[in-house]
Amino acid sequence: MSDSKKRQPSIETQVTQALHFVEGETGAVVPSIQPTATYARDENYDIRKPYWYRRDGSQTTAHAEAVIAQLEGAAESLLFSSGMSACTAVIEHLETGAHVVVPEVMYHGVLQQIQIYAAKGRIQVSYYTAGNLQELAAAVKPNITQLVWVETPNNPNWEVTDIQAAADIAHKAGAKLMADCTGTPPSMTKALDFGADFSFHSATKYLNGHSDVTAGVLSVRETGQFWEDIFWVRKLQGTVLTSFDAWLLIRGMRTLFLRVERACENAMKIAKHFVDHPHIEAVLYPGLETDPGHEVAKRQTNGQFGAMLSLIVKGCEQDAIDVTRFCEIFYPATSLGGVESLIEHRKTVSGEGFPVHERLLRLSIGIESTDDLIYDLEQAIERTFH
């Protein structure tokens, strides 16, 4: 077969094989972990590029970054020690006094960080209702706003924001668009393809998928001075991902497509099961045809919709808390994107002062048997309302 006819391996194959990794000397198909904190200079006392100290990065971390860059269709990706340190690096690299536009309700850690920076006068913030493009457009100040932040789907109500439309609004005003798509990993949403300038994922969640690493990743279509600045924030703050965690992440990503497909199927079945349930007031899930974000989610998530959903329980706040207490298969824990299913009373977790419905249960659906998961929720609801 001539080279021009040769089939290029699909992204599923590339990610599963960690970019067809083969170790040069041994032929090992799994990379070694390189934990070194420092690197010897060469015989001329020059630095052996690209590393001279661990805070620059490492071979293992760079390998994980290469896999994610491939997934995202990115020029480059940078891995941080947590999603929060990656988000913080983006805020840090802005000029003092920069105007940013963010959703009023979003992942609480990021919102808290933005509010702390705003209170110190380090940045200026305007808010919009998650998913509402008119409000987003109204909050953007032409030639003043530097960054527009979207989270889609948006915690914890799973509003969907049209990334392409948000990017157009941001770019027209001369601002960059940051897209936090943690809820739908790059196997289903490639934010850069929709025009985002930064694609962000908490790799703690779906990318790793096994609840045993905290990591965050930023990806860009084009590099430039701003990207260099962000690299230096990571280097000087020492927030690069460790080699051990990068290795676990590479291993976790090998099953990304399989895990996510199964989790989304489970989520859809669970969401449909609880629509019109006598003890459930509402099911918040973009996969439902009645959901306001359904059409945009469909094209933005490769038809998969994600595996995060929320249930608004009837009754009182304590009833919602009781459902989480009575679950025997769902873990009553925060976080998301692991193979195991989690349930949380979001108001308790986000803390006072954060606008979230008092009877909202946030569910991260894993890859267990759907029947077991539905049975578990049903028995917990039954015990709550008996």
Ligand X SMILES: *Cc1c(COP(=O)(O)O)cnc(C)c1O
Whether the Cβ atoms of residue 361 and residue 257 lie closer than 8 Å to each other: no
**Which residue of 110, 250, 297, 323 would you call a contact of ligand X, by CB under 6 A?**
110
C-beta pairs of 55-60 under 8 Å, 24+ apart in sequence: 55/234, 55/235, 55/236, 55/238, 55/240, 56/235, 56/240, 57/240, 58/34, 58/240, 58/243, 58/246, 59/31, 59/34, 59/243, 60/31, 60/32, 60/33, 60/34, 60/35, 60/243, 60/246, 60/247, 60/250
From 28-36, 61-69, 105-113, 269-277, give the range in contact with ligand X by CB under 6 A: 105-113
Write out the binding residues for ligand X, residues 224-253 only, by CB under 6 A: none
Instruction: Report in angstroms how near the CB of residue 206 gets to ligand X at its nearest.
Output: 10
Q: CB of 299: closest distance to ligand X in angstroms?
A: 21
Q: Given the rule CB under 6 A, which of 9-17, 45-53, 76-84, 317-325 is the region that contacts ligand X?
A: 76-84
216 part of the interface to ligand X, by CB under 6 A = yes
For the bound state, the minimum distance from the C-beta of residue 201 to ligand X, rounded and expressed in Å, comes to 8
Site for ligand X in 318-357 (CB under 6 A): 336
The site for ligand X, by CB under 6 A, has a size of: 16
- In the complex with ligand X, which residue's Cβ is closer, 173 or 309? 309
What are the CA-CA distances from residue 211 to residues 91, 141, 214, 279 (Å)?
26, 40, 8, 31
Candidate segments 20-28, 58-66, 103-111, 261-269, binder of ligand X by CB under 6 A: 103-111
Q: Which of 72, 159, 162, 180 binds ligand X (CB under 6 A)?
A: 180
219 binds ligand X (CB under 6 A): no
Choose between 199 and 384: whose C-beta lies nearer to ligand X. Answer: 199
**Exposure pattern of 1-32 as b/e (b: 16+ CB <10 Å)?**
eeeeeeeeeebeebbbebbeeeeeeeeeeebe
User: 51: which 2 tokens?
Assistant: 């590393």
Minimal CA–CA distance to 113: which of 144, 73, 82, 153? Answer: 82
Minimum distance from residue 200 beta carbon to ligand X (Å): 7
Answer for which of 61, 77, 152, 155 binds ligand X (CB under 6 A) is: 155
- How far apart are alpha carbons 191 and 204 in whole angstroms? 18
Binding flag, residue 204, ligand X (CB under 6 A): yes
Phi first, then psi, for residue 15 (nearest 5°) are -70, -40
Calpha distance 99→303 (Å, rounded): 34
Closer residue to ligand X in complex, CB, 315/332: 332
Q: How far is the CB of 217 from ligand X (least distance, A)?
A: 10
The distance of closest approach from Cβ of residue 336 to ligand X in the complex, given in angstroms and rounded to an integer, is 6
Which of 161, 182, 199, 301 lies at the binding interface for ligand X (CB under 6 A)?
182
Q: Which residue's C-beta sits nearest to ligand X?
A: 83
Verify binding: residue 301, ligand X, rule CB under 6 A. no
- Find the shortest distance in angstroms from Cβ 94 to ligand X: 18
- The residues that are catalytic are 55, 107, 180, 205
User: Phi then psi for 256, rounded to 5 degrees?
Assistant: -55, -55
C-beta closer to ligand X: residue 83 or 322: 83
Contacts of 337 (CB under 8 A, 6+ apart): 182, 185, 202, 204, 205, 206, 207, 208, 209, 307, 364
Our finding on whether 83 is near ligand X (CB under 6 A) is yes
For residue 120, the tally of other CB atoms under 10 A from its CB is 9
The site map against ligand X for 183-202 (x = CB under 6 A) is: -------------------x
Task: Mention every residue, 6+ apart, whose C-beta is less than 8 A from residue 273.
Answer: 374
* Residue 82 touches ligand X, criterion: CB under 6 A: yes
Residue 148 in tokens:
């527009």
Nearer Cβ to ligand X, position 130 or 380? 130
Residue 109 lies near ligand X (rule: CB under 6 A): yes
The pair of three-digit structure tokens given for residue 172, joined into one six-digit string: 């027209």
* 107 touches ligand X (CB under 6 A): yes
Name the residue nearer to ligand X (CB basis): 338 or 380. Answer: 338
The binding site for ligand X (CB under 6 A) comprises: 82-84, 107, 109-110, 151, 155, 180, 182, 202, 204-205, 214, 216, 336
